[in-house]
Amino acid sequence: MRRSFLLIIALCACIGLHAQAPTEAHADTIYTYDTVRIVDLRQYTDTLMHVLESPDSIAQQRIDTLRPDSSDRRGHYIEAHVGLGYGSLGYSLSGNGNRVNGSFSGVLQLQYAYFFHPNWGVGAGLWFTNYISYAHLAGSYQWLDQTDSDGEPHYDHTATINRWRERQAVYDIGIPISLHFQYQKESWKARLFASLGIAPSFALSHSYRLQQGEIAHSGYYPAWKMTLTDVHEFGIKDYTSEASAKGNLSVRPRATLFADLGALFPITKQIDLFTGGYFHCALNDANSSNKTALGWQDDTFAFMDPYNGAYATTNAGASHPWEVGVKIGVHWHYIAPDKHTTVDYFDYFTRRDTSYEYIAHCDTIVSVRIDTSVQIIPAHIIEAAERVEKFNKIFFAFNKYELTHKAQRYLSSIVGVLNDVPDAKIAIDGHASPVGDDEYNDWLSRQRANAVAEYLVRQGVNKDRIVAVGYGSRVPNDENTDRAESLDRRVEVKVVLQPTNIPSSNEGKEVQP
């Protein structure tokens, strides 16, 4: 009686432990069994189940490659420009018929810029430029009650300028310090570019040269009531060969306001072609001459003031050199090389191979009929899902759906995985915090999901592989134990596990492990 009672208890315990679906040894496949019927079972079942339920885990490391985002316009730039335009020393000449004309000017500029924001940056560099003007003098000028070269007093001297053309040139070096701006819409092929700044400027060369200069001198003697025009010191004189026909201008350092406006056309990921216009203008008066009245002093006309160029006469107004023109150049953007980082992960190993050995050698007879259909998920899809899971949560600021720089770096890692597994489908789930009404949160979560999807497409992921859905605030973050609303404002990127149904080779048969 006692022996029968113990046998019944053991049989019931064994049947309870083995009325489960058989465990598959391979971690990269998932099996489902429709029907399992236990026919007979004996001993060692407790040992077998202990082995099946005690897995081992081994921590390993993998080197991941984080590719920089070439669409992120932040970072370091080297900019080189060359320009051609029209400029002048920016002053006027008083007197009837006197005038100043400008001429062609050029600029060569090299600078460094750092964009601390996708749209905003600062720059500093060096430029070489020139300002050229042509001074034209005309009219008649008188010196009354003078003494001529023979010592005859009390005569009135008249100088009439027939033609006078004087070239004035200043060659500058400047140190531009500027604020930069660039902007691009998704539909644009080019980017808008602008800069505004101030450059301390210094003259490297500053000179004038008389190209044409002819004056008719005459003298009126009141005592004789006679005007002399073609005798002795009176008559037409050419000044182009005189010592005063060339010399240096007096130019002080200046603060030059400048601006650039144009477009950047991408040539490569790192090089853009710039085309646009520029404008320079000195803020302070550049003329530092000791100005004197217009005159051509020499041994004959000792009563006149010396001539040091029209720029140094009292006829010259304040000088603000300026130029305007067009520029062309290149902008080189430094893009960091691929970054390699070590990521910890776990491989899970079980003693299932050992369990089959137990089954083969134990005194256990299991008669089972299995009607099965097997669903298999390929191993490389499972591996891709595990790799993406390490970077799959992208967080957003309150009421924002723009991707941060950190988010783009995470997504770049995901892109590398997706490119390795081109047959993997991607689900992008957008979420919002519970702040605000449900309709708005639904819209905001869709915008966040779409922002991530559009970024992946721009990085080369086929849009047909992507399904983006917004869930509003209905699905809180499962890791948000403290219920911080910032952790609910997120997008989750997941590889879709799509099993394939494969008929089992054991379908409809009686099997014995």
pLDDT per residue over 437-454, tens digit each? 888 999 999 999 999 999
Helices (H), 310-372: 352-361
Query: Hey, how many other C-beta atoms are within 10 angstroms of the C-beta on 249?
Result: 23
- Who wins on pLDDT, 481 or 143? 143
3-state secondary structure of 49: helix
Instruction: Give the pLDDT band (50/70/90) at residue 240.
Output: very high
The pLDDT tens digits for 282-313 are 999 999 999 999 999 998 899 999 999 999 99
Determine the pLDDT at residue 299.
86
Residue 415 CB contacts under 8 Å (≥ 6 apart), including other chains: 67, 456, 459, 460, 461
The residues that bridge with 491 in the sheet, in sequence order, are 394, 430
Q: Is the pLDDT of residue 58 over 60?
A: no
Domain positions in the chain are 1-70+340-377, 75-333, 378-497
Mean pLDDT over 258-262 rounds to 97
What pLDDT is stored for residue 211 in this prediction? 96
In this prediction, residue 443 carries a pLDDT of 93
368-376 and 235-238 strand pairing:
unpaired
pLDDT at 65: 67
Most confident of 42-51, 139-148, 321-330: 321-330
Q: What is the DSSP secondary structure assignment for residue 22, as one 8-state letter?
A: P
- Which strand (E) or helix (H) includes residue 36? strand 32-38
Percent of the chain with pLDDT over 70: 75
pLDDT of 418 reads 81
State pLDDT tens for residues 395-423. Answer: 888 888 888 888 888 788 788 788 778 87
The answer to whether the pTM exceeds 0.75 is no
Measured distance CA(18)–CA(359) in Å, rounded: 12
- Per-position DSSP letters for 51-66, written without gaps between them: HHT--EEEEEEEEEEE
Q: Is a pLDDT exceeding 80 seen at residue 341?
A: no
User: Would you tell me which CATH number, out of the four given (3.40.50.720, 3.40.1010.10, 1.10.10.10, 3.30.1330.60), belongs to the domain 378-497?
Assistant: 3.30.1330.60
Is residue 111 within 8 Å of residue 147, measured between CB atoms? no
Phi, psi of 368 (to 5 degrees): -135, 135
pLDDT at 39 over 60: no
CATH topology for 75-333? Porin (2.40.160)
Q: What is the pLDDT of residue 344?
A: 58
